[in-house]
Structure 1
Amino acid sequence: MAPKGNNMIPNGHFHKDWQRFVKTWFNQPARKHRRKQNRVKKARAIAPRPAAGPLRPVVRCPSVRYHTKVRAGRGFTLQELKAAGFNPRFAQYKSKLILFPIHNKKKLRAGEATEEERKVATQLTSEVLPIRQPAIRTKARVPTEAEKTFSAYITLRKARADARLVGIRAKRIKDAAENPDDVTKAAKEKKPAKK
């Protein structure tokens, strides 16, 4: 587009070597396929252990905005494991898993699976303990008279005023107790409204 008016003619740099700076993403489908193959290979290597990773606790998200949701936590604290009576490494695969012995020829230790239990074992490919959001359903009901007359705005304003005036009111009560003869310190009576 030609410049309008008595302005400078734009100098467009149209001969830059742009192909050096362009990033392409043509290998995305192949990378996706390779990642899937690697997941399958890892699952076969660690079978019959779960491929989904270690057990994680269910925790609530921080902040008022997200605290209604639950998600998988980073892990159990050492205090929680100690209270449950578990060694931190042993606790990773304790619940709902068949514990294979480290050495097949040696005597089985406490908690390790027998030969029959090991034959039954299958690999779990899904999540170990899936997280489900709790459904909170409230039943419909008729509001009470107190709920109908309740005003959140007035309640908050009164609470703010009470918090602001707590020192002044305490001083006024203390002065009135010390000087009962002083008329200005005593509580003033409200005048009747004129008709």
Structure 2
Amino acid sequence: MVKHNNQVPNAHFHKKWATSSRGPLKVRTWFSQPAQKKARRLKRAAKAAAIAPRPLARLRPAVQCQTARYASKTRLGRGFTLEELKGAGIAPALAKTIGISVDYRRKNKSEESLVNNVDRLKLYKEKLVLFPRKGTKPALPEHSAPTTGPLMPLEKKVEEVEFVDLTEELTSAPAYAKLRQVRNDKKLVGIRKKIEEAKKADK
């Protein structure tokens, strides 16, 4: 232990920082991160300009986030399901060629998400302009600027909040006791049903 009011020794000698008798360098450095970030951005911009007016990104579906904490939020998913493509009248093989992402593993668990993504595909079909692969190259439209961001980004929904005046009935209601009663009723459904069936059998 150190004497007097000095710093407590906290030297980390377990890392092999340099080539020595203890072995080669084991600690990785990442000083090129800012330069690599800039290089990736320039590559994306160059690719977007080369394939313009075709967008760089693919069309992706709107899906709900995972877990109870984020389930209320919507984000872009991996790809559209076969059921969604069928509802929009698009073959899966054709979808890949016109900039639509397809996910063969995802399943639709609600009618609402199915309808929303089918409408998203139909809106994309209305805006889609296909150029012939053979023959003379057609003139590009005036608004054929390269796009690097997400295709048809999701709009943020602003939920309306309704305010009500507090009344005597609202303030005097036993909210906690009511919640416990509902929780107990849900918990004891099976037991109460079994008791009723036993009573009917005895009669």
Task: Give the TM interval when normalised to the shorter protein.
Answer: 0.5 to 0.7
Pick one of 101, 104, 128 that aligns with 1:97: 128
Q: Distance in 1 between matches of 2:35 and 2:12?
A: 36
CA displacement 1:122-163 (0-9 Å, x = unmatched): 133333211122111212122466544443432243345545
- CA, structure 1 residues 2+44, in 2 after alignment: closer, same or farther (shift >3 Å)? same
Q: How does 1:65-84 map to 2 (within 5 A)?
A: 65-84=69-88
| Pairing 1:153–2:170 present | no
Q: Higher relative contact order at CA 8 Å, sep ≥6: structure 1 or structure 2?
A: 2
Number of equivalenced pairs? 158
Provide the TM-score with structure 2 as the length reference.
0.61
Q: Return the offset for 1:103.
A: 0.9
Q: Give the superposed CA RMSD.
A: 3.5
Gaps of 5+ in 1: 4-11, 106-113, 179-195
Provide the TM-score with structure 1 as the length reference.
0.63
Q: Distance in 1 between matches of 2:16 and 2:195?
A: 79
Which structure has the bigger radius of gyration?
Answer: 1
Contact 1:58 1:70 in 2 (8 A): yes
Once the two structures are overlaid, the 10-residue window that deviates more, 155-164 or 92-101, is 155-164
Gaps of 5+ in 2: 4-10, 19-24, 100-123
Residue in 2 that maps onto 1:87: 91
- CA, structure 1 residues 90+158, in 2 after alignment: closer, same or farther (shift >3 Å)? same
Residue in 1 that maps onto 2:55: 50
Residue in 1 that maps onto 2:35: 30
Letter in 2 for 1:119: P
Q: Provide the identity percentage.
A: 39
